[in-house]
Amino acid sequence: MTTARYPSVEGRPLVLGHRGASDEAPENTLAAFRRALDRGADGFELDVWRCGSGEAVVVHDADLARTGQSPARVRETPLPLLRELDVGRWKGEAFHGERIPTLDEVLEEFPGAVVNVEMKSGRLPDPGLAVEVARTIRQRRAEARVAVSSFSASLLGAFRAIAPDVATGYLVAPGALATARAAAVLRALRPEAIHPALELATDERVEDWRREGLAVLVWTVDDPAAVERLARLGVTGVVSNRPGVAREAVRRATGY
């Protein structure tokens, strides 16, 4: 039986930076996570793969073509080689020298932050990633402030089986069958939360999800009016590229 409780704050939704404050800083870097907290966020969302040497590394894409100007594929490349890549310069010279962090380093560097860890899967989910993420969270004693999510039901199920004390959320992207598929996964896995795209988070659906006892973390919400609407509906949190803007919108909507 699960003992997990989804992270939350009193009186208002959580505000999490999407890959950090990714409107201002290079996504999924320590600089972006630091910037999100400086802007008033409660924490941040990040993405993890297991690299070629087995560590859970924080990067969104399956390769480094976009953020590291390298064809290196994350799952095939050992950590020392990934460390050689500059993943900050593409965002501006001010971020020259930013490196890919490990999940362990992020949890150590920001001990007070709420962290949503998205496990990436690709076409073939890596069950070893679930094991490594669970191990890292336990090692850092971060169970109460971390939620783990994925679009992959099999990967999320693997994680829940080995870490029932860590909250989980099923990610749902827009699509014709999205909500029907999500309902089936929610029945099968019984995660603590649903993480819907903003397009899916209608007033009626949010109310239904909350009535079912689910925490609701909505992504990616950059429009202040949308943040205010969701805050008034009582969502558990919003994920935003502009966490400072989102935090102000939450304050206007809730008084907190």
Q: Catalytic annotation on 60? A: yes
Q: Catalytic annotation on 18? A: yes
Q: Choose the catalytic residue: 12, 17, 18, 238.
A: 18
For helices 153-162 and 178-189, angle between their N-to-C axes, nearest 10 degrees: 20
Positions marked active-site: 18, 60
